[in-house]
Amino acid sequence: MTSPRSIRVRFAPAPTGMMHLGNVRTALINYLFAQQKHGTFIVRIEDTDQQRNYDPKAEKIVDDLLWLGLDFEEGPFKGGHYEPYFQSQREHLYREKLTVLEHKGMIYRCFCTPEELEKKRVRQIALKLPPRYDRTCAKLTPEQLSAKLDASMPFVWRFKMPQDTQLTIHDIARGDITFDMQHFSDFPLTRADGSFTFIFANFVDDLTMVITHVIRGEDHLTNTANQAALYQAFDATIPVFCHLPIICNAQGVKLSKRDFGFSLHDLRTAGFLPEAIDNYLALIGGGTFSSEIMTLETLAQEFNFDTMNSTGHIRYDVEKLRWLNHKWIDRLEPRALYDRAIGFITSQFPQAADVDAPTMINLLQVIKSDMVTLADASAAVAFFFNEPQNVNDLVAQHVTPATISTITGLIAQSLDLLDTPEEFMNRVKAAAKTAGIPMKDIFTTLRLALTGQSHGPALHAIITVLGSTASRKRLEQLV
């Protein structure tokens, strides 16, 4: 499956928008492959569409990759032996390779206008013929060609497809795929304005950067025959390919901006951990693993590229991602959870910035079981900053009036033990048992008075994190 050459893989995003799950999955699988095979992970920016350039210097792309833990050996801000790593700076290489093909007689100028091409396509479809370019311009005489050039007619360079051959590529997920080139049309390498097409620029970059394995989305599978033909034209070894299944929503439709979690920005701002995102995207396409909760290092060791999912579509299950995120939050060390969550908390409670770190760390440990995402921390710690109001009215909604006075009395008798929360709780429970008060009623009353909520962390933990003074103040509203 692997090449005797050093393994070199690349992630080549276009900076025309925010990173989405498809981008992240492609970057992740390339990274895991490089890690597992002791190869090189390269980042290359395909930024030729300057008008739609959302991230000109690729700063956001690099920030996202590093946030995900997907560090690379060559690319923007790092350099490498095959610089530059921005397509917009590599035009001289494309012209050089185009000249080679011209000298080999493997390309020709095409002067057909878009309107003419569309008419031909419509006619071929009407005749139930495959819509392919009919090589009109490949048949121009030298005189006709000179006349068109003298008239400064716009043209594109087309690659003359070797239609009497078959080409075979190896796809990690699908095995060998053979293309009968008679079914493929001569395709353009340039545009009328002289710029280069994605297919050609992408090929030249992979060739000159010595990319050995091309791992990308299945939507690029249609380009592969053309790129294989270009490799053959240069007598170069065709890379090993791996076309990843399309990620779809619950309805089986390709994931789009309308779907939550489509963009990495959505997930970051919603409080998902990079570890969970990496973990989830590896699970949905890498066969079986020894566990569902795995670090990048373990994923790189266990990801089975020989049994990859070759189905055309994979369903995106946000609930599974949420479950994984909850598990990863639970795994975080106390200080790490504080570092990740404090920004979400201070955005809603600015006063949290004035609370000492140890107190906030303890508070997060008390409430972390209620956190599915980091964003949940704000609601979960609200009781710490907001003293419950109208406590008696709250209690009356949950506990019968006849019981309330008995409960408040036995709580009042135990307030002197608040400095030792477990002793306080033991006395209250013993007193409730003696008085015949259901434990559910006593616990609900205490929780409502302390937090304003009927559900939440253990009561002794709440008293500990609030402190005896604040706890007494809140409980005295009852008595």
Domains of the chain: residue spans and CATH: 1-82+245-331 (3.40.50.620), 97-164+177-188 (3.90.800.10), 334-475 (1.10.10)
CA-CA distances (angstroms) from residue 460 to 14, 134, 426, 471?
A: 53, 81, 10, 11
The answer to whether residues 217 and 22 touch, using CB atoms and an 8 Å cutoff, is yes
Tens of pLDDT, residue by residue over 161-201, are: 998 999 999 999 899 999 999 999 999 999 999 999 999 99
Residue 2 pLDDT > 60: no
How far is residue 249's CA from residue 264's CA, in Å, rounded to a whole number? 15
Q: What is the mean pLDDT of residues 464-471?
A: 95
pLDDT of residue 308: 80
Mark residue 431 as left, alpha or beta (left: phi above 0; alpha: psi -120 to 50; beta: remaining). alpha
Tens of pLDDT, residue by residue over 280-320, are: 999 987 767 889 999 999 999 999 898 786 666 788 999 99
Return the sign of the alpha-carbon dihedral for residues 91, 92, 98, 101: negative
pLDDT of residue 3: 43
Q: Which residue has better confidence, 401 or 151?
A: 151
Q: Which residues of 206-230 are buried (b: 16+ CB within 10 A; e: fewer)?
A: bbebbbbbbbbebebbebbbbbbbb
What are the beta bridge partners of residue 43?
A: 11
How far is residue 63's CA from residue 72's CA, in Å, rounded to a whole number? 12
Q: What is the mean pLDDT of residues 145-158?
A: 96
429: exposed, middle or buried (Cβ count in 10 Å: 0-12, 13-18, 19+): middle
Q: How confident is the prediction for the chain on average, in pLDDT?
A: 93
Residue 1 pLDDT > 60: no
Q: How many CB atoms lie within 10 A of CB 170?
A: 16
Helix (H) or strand (E) holding 431: helix 421-435
| Residue closest to 311 by CA, chosen among 218, 221, 238, 440 | 218
pLDDT of residue 260: 85
266: exposed, middle or buried (Cβ count in 10 Å: 0-12, 13-18, 19+): middle
- The dihedrals phi and psi of 9, each to the nearest 5 degrees, come to -125, 160
Q: How many CB atoms lie within 10 A of CB 194?
A: 12
| Residue closest to 46 by CA, chosen among 18, 85, 74, 14 | 14
